[in-house]
Amino acid sequence: MSRLNYHHLYYFWQVAKGGNLTETAQRLHISQSALSAQIKQLEQSMRVQLFLRQGRKLVLTDSGYHTLKYAEDIFSRGAELEQLLINGAQPQHSPIRIGTLATMSRNFIESFIAPLLATADSRFSLLSMNQTTLLNALAQHQLDLALSNVAVQANDNQLWQCRLLARQPVAVIGAPGKALSDNLASYRQQRWVLPPVQSSIRMAFDALAAQYQLQPDVIAEADDMAMLRLLARDSGALTVIPDVVVKDELSSGRLHKYLTLPQVYENFYIITTQRELTHPQLNRLLQAYTATAL
């Protein structure tokens, strides 16, 4: 059983914010001695000293300072919960929690959250994880939405909502200056850094390679798009990734797009769960992204 009494913690929080016992007691309409006794009980139950008295003022100890930070979070979240239950919606200023697949393009993620960056009152958190952890966090209401390049389907245990956000063409990218044409047959004898064999991009590339008898020399594999970008930039080998992953390198000339692969795409999805209450910024974010992507 927890020894923390939240009634006592509330009184501590009120005094700590004002720093004056008498004024806080008057504001809360209780006696100063009763308020002091509540805080003393909190200190005794937690076996810490929260305040030092300096003249007429109360000054927080180190323990008091840390307790205040937690109390601020606890009671502000409590106010949000009250608003959610009464009004049926989360407050506009509460952070939207976005989970992202660890291996997907950071440039795409940044383009998705651009409307949040442009709005002064927006708050958000980005959490990177693998697909299984991502879906578990969604199911446990630890995230408001997830971004992934792997689609999911609903099952008997969980009703996922998976929506295609964008479809990016995949290109052959490499260091500039290579004598390559638009004909895939000219790509024989080239060195490659590629996604792993189980990825959709790799399977599509392998099918094209077999069709044109490329027999690619694969010197490295990586499931992380950012790593493929670095390997292509620093190894001199070719890779196959969407333009969005390397847009900065293409603009600066450090990398060059040689060929857009026919009918090969990287899909980006937003995944949510079916729930009664959703974050108020979710629809605005989706509408803003759709408008920018068109």
Give the span between the Cα atoms of 157 and 250, in whole angstroms.
Answer: 44
Predicted confidence at residue 99, as pLDDT, reads 95
Give the span between the Cα atoms of 21 and 35, in whole angstroms.
Answer: 8
CATH number at residue 25: 1.10.10.10
- Domain count along the chain: 3
Predicted confidence at residue 280, as pLDDT, reads 65
Predicted confidence at residue 294, as pLDDT, reads 34
Predicted confidence at residue 1, as pLDDT, reads 45
Predicted confidence at residue 123, as pLDDT, reads 83
Predicted confidence at residue 265, as pLDDT, reads 93
Q: Tell me if 274 sits within 8 A of 280, measured CB to CB.
A: no
152 and 284 fall within a common domain: yes
Last residue of a domain, one of 87, 105, 132: 87
Predicted confidence at residue 293, as pLDDT, reads 45
Q: Any alpha helices (H) in the chain, and if so which ranges?
A: 6-18, 21-28, 32-46, 62-87, 106-117, 131-139, 200-212, 225-235, 247-252, 281-293
What does each of the 294 residues of the chain score in pLDDT, given as a tens digit?
Answer: 467 888 899 899 888 887 788 888 888 889 989 999 999 999 998 899 999 887 777 888 999 888 988 888 788 777 667 766 766 555 556 788 899 999 888 989 998 888 888 877 778 899 999 999 999 888 877 888 899 999 998 776 667 889 898 899 999 999 999 989 888 888 988 999 999 999 999 999 999 999 999 999 999 999 999 999 999 999 999 999 999 999 999 999 999 999 999 999 999 999 988 765 566 677 777 776 654 443
Last residue of a domain, one of 33, 59, 87: 87
110 and 155 fall within a common domain: yes
66 and 112 fall within a common domain: no
262 and 198 fall within a common domain: yes
- pTM value is 0.64
Whether 155 is in a domain gets the answer: yes
Predicted confidence at residue 292, as pLDDT, reads 46
Whether 1 is in a domain gets the answer: no
Whether 204 is in a domain gets the answer: yes
Whether 117 is in a domain gets the answer: yes
Domain of 22 in residue numbering reads as 6-87
Residues composing the chain: 294
Give the span between the Cα atoms of 227 and 128, in whole angstroms.
Answer: 15
Whether 81 is in a domain gets the answer: yes
Whether 108 is in a domain gets the answer: yes
176 and 250 fall within a common domain: yes
Last residue of a domain, one of 52, 87, 122: 87
Give the span between the Cα atoms of 3 and 13, in whole angstroms.
Answer: 17
Helix, strand or coil, per DSSP, at residue 121: coil
Give the span between the Cα atoms of 154 and 217, in whole angstroms.
Answer: 39
Whether 142 is in a domain gets the answer: yes
Q: What is the 3-state secondary structure (H, E, C) of 231-283?
A: HHHHHCCEEEEEHHHHHHHHHHCCCEEEEEEEEEEEEEEEEEECCCCCCCHHH
